A and B are shown apart, each in its own frame.
Chain A
Amino acid sequence: QVQLQESGPGLVKSSGSLSLTCAVSDYAIVSGCFWGWVRQPPGRGLEWIGTIYQDGSRYYNPSLKSRVTTSVDRSKNQFSLRLSFVTPADTAVYYCAKTMTAAGGHLGTFDYWGQGALVTVSS
């Protein structure tokens, strides 16, 4: 059973950067699927942030693309998210997730999710 666990600071100051890491267990990160990030502001819907492949290929939400960076660390079997120039509007639960396959149309089809990490941006 694939397990994902987000970790990182729960409080970030405005104009700073948000950094999260997702540790993957019981599944090799190089096993042929994408790895993604989704966020959910309190009481609101889901927003796709971006997806990364094991070879470093990156795919981002156009509305966040200028502020987002993702990376994969194959040696640690984990992947990471960095969101720059944050504002209180970036306050959300951030989820990391695994896609079903490596097909392009599935880069946002997530079959396993982490429990989520609440990140609050203070003004």
Chain B
Amino acid sequence: QSALTQPASVSGSLGQSITISCTGTSSDVGGYNYVSWYQQHPGKAPKLLVYDVNKWPSGVSNRFSGSKSGNTASLTISGLQADDEADYFCSSYAGSDTFIFGGGTQLTVL
């Protein structure tokens, strides 16, 4: 099992939209609709933003949206806010009762 591939960093200006990719294989991202995204601020626990590719947990802003095409999942953040500056991690069910995370992406809001 190798970690899902995410860009190390992305940046965007206040109010803009950005997209973070998460690339896996047909054995994980491409094979199941169990992709999730988490936001993590420094020193804090991760927060679930999106699950099952494109669903929102209660209380999460719809500025965060998920999608998937083939073996690549994506998280789009619209209307960037200063507080969106954080690390973002994807995760996916990987079959055989196992789970896998991405390496993480650091978002800088300019």
Contacts and interface: CB of A to CB of B under 8 A. Distances in A.
Interface stretch (B11-19, B77-85, B92-100): B92-100
Given A62-B98, A104-B97, A107-B93, A45 B3 contact: yes
A51 interface: yes
B29 to A, nearest CB: 12
A48 B103 contact: no
Contacts of A105: 32-34, 52, 93
Nearest to B47: A113
Interface magnitude class on chain A: 20 to 34
Contacts of A114: 45
A62 B97 contact: no
Interface in B52-105: 52, 57, 89, 91, 93, 97-104
Contacts of A95: 45-46
Given A109-B36, A111-B57, A45 B101 contact: yes
Interface residues of B, number: 25
B99 A51 contact: yes
A46 B104 contact: yes
Nearest to B43: A116
Interface in A55-99: 59-63, 95
A122 B13 CA distance: 43
Most B CB contacts (10 A, CB to CB) among A46, A100, A114, A116 go to: A46
8 contacts: A45-B101, A46-B89, A59-B98, A95-B46, A105-B93, A108-B93, A110-B46, A111-B48
Question: Can you list the 6 inter-chain pairs with the closest CB atoms, starting with the nearest?
Answer: A108-B99, A105-B34, A113-B45, A59-B97, A45-B104, A46-B101
